[in-house]
Amino acid sequence: MPYRTPNNVRLRGSEDLAAVLAELQLGELQRTENQLTIDIAGGTTARVLTVAAGSMSPAAVRKLVEEGKEEGTLLVVVADRVSARLGDLLRSLGAGWLDRRGHLRLVGDGLVIDIDVPSLLPPSPGASVPVDPCATSVGREVSLELLMNPAEVPSVRGLARTIRRAPSSVSAVLRALRAQVLVDDERRARTPDLFWALAASWRPQRYCLRGCPDPADPDDDWSYELHATDLGAAGWVLGDTVAASAWGIPLVASGAYPPDLYVPDQRALMRAMHRFGEVAVVNSRACTVALAPAPAVCARRFSGPGRWPLAHPVVVALDLAGDAGRGSEALANWYPEDVQRVW
């Protein structure tokens, strides 16, 4: 479920930016609706147009900037959270940003500001939390569960049982996600923010193999613990491009495109690499294999049109999000019928 902000407090972007700039004491400041005028000492005047971002997906941000630009103004996107990846995108588009967690970038018309500022968000209760919860194994597992079940109101102990982690570890991650404005007060995923935060840390190490197990061969199914027909067990699963095509994502992949597979544990990975060996030339690979970034990747599998079970659509979307060009464009145009869109 998308994040809902009480009383639209988070939508008052120009007020927040004005408050930050007033503290910096750059010069006389005037505000009218979503536009600020700064008369800087020395005779320079800067006009700043603010836009408040509700969705922080790359496609939404790009559209926001392109539609909001005006001649002679500096455009500043104001949001609760601006990731490093989105910061790079805004910089390339010539836009600035105010990250309410505590950073302002405003460059142009005599202004060169790229500094940390006091946070505009309420403090997070409890003990200190990780700076980037999605970069930890528990954080990835919790985040993936929340994205796979975005409408549910999760409990700490329920999540702990599902991912088989200590409740204290899950609680710490949820505090961190709340501090990063990635979940709401009921612990539900704030989408698409949580998705893109997890995508930034979704970096499975893939190995290109000379050969590939055959899921239709009972010997291979047993030898490599593929569990190709037993979807109730954790087993090998198809992700990335071929899985995306099978789910109906608008990507072009021929029938001969090598599968990108996830394996459930290190033992399965080592056994496959020992049996088939790595190939140096990527284009001659029979398949790629990678250790699943979270157990749920291989535990929640779906029947597909091909030989391999398919990964959950959220997993496939995370795979595609790693491709800033083709993948992000495909996600922007994918609206699945039976799965809540979280990107």
Residues 14 and 72 grouped into a single domain? yes
Residues 190 and 211 grouped into a single domain? no
- 259 part of a folded domain: yes
DSSP 251-302: ----TTSPPEEEESSHHHHHHHHHHH-B-SSGGG-SEEEEE-SSHHHHHSEE
DSSP 123-182: PPPSS---S-GGGSHHHHHHHHHHHHSTTS---HHHHHHHHT--HHHHHHHHHHHHHTT-
Is there a contact between 289 and 207 (Cβ–Cβ < 8 Å)? yes
pLDDT per residue, tens digit, the chain (343 aa), is: 333 333 343 447 888 888 888 888 877 888 877 788 888 766 678 888 888 776 667 888 888 888 878 888 888 999 888 888 788 889 999 899 999 888 999 888 767 889 988 888 776 555 455 568 898 999 999 999 999 999 999 999 999 999 999 999 999 999 999 988 899 999 999 999 999 999 989 999 999 999 999 999 999 998 899 999 999 999 999 999 999 999 988 776 666 789 999 999 999 999 999 999 999 888 899 999 999 999 999 999 999 999 999 999 999 999 999 887 778 788 888 888 888 999 9
CATH number of the domain encompassing residue 57: 3.40.1350
DSSP, collapsed to helix, strand or coil, labels residue 36 as strand
- 124 part of a folded domain: no
- 338 part of a folded domain: no
- 340 part of a folded domain: no
Residues 170 and 210 grouped into a single domain? no
Number of domains into which the chain is organized: 3
As a whole number of angstroms, the distance between CA 187 and CA 190 comes to 9
- 285 part of a folded domain: yes
Range of the domain at 244: 206-332
- 264 part of a folded domain: yes
Write down which residue in 201, 228, 243 finishes a domain: 201
- 122 part of a folded domain: no
Write down which residue in 116, 151, 183 finishes a domain: 116
Residues 217 and 324 grouped into a single domain? yes
Residues 211 and 317 grouped into a single domain? yes
Residues 303 and 276 grouped into a single domain? yes
Residues 192 and 242 grouped into a single domain? no
Residues 217 and 298 grouped into a single domain? yes
End-to-end Cα separation, the chain, in angstroms:
12
As a whole number of angstroms, the distance between CA 142 and CA 71 comes to 44
Q: Can you give the three-state secondary structure of 214-239, one letter per residue?
A: CCCCHHHHHHCCCCCCCCCCCCCEEE
- 342 part of a folded domain: no
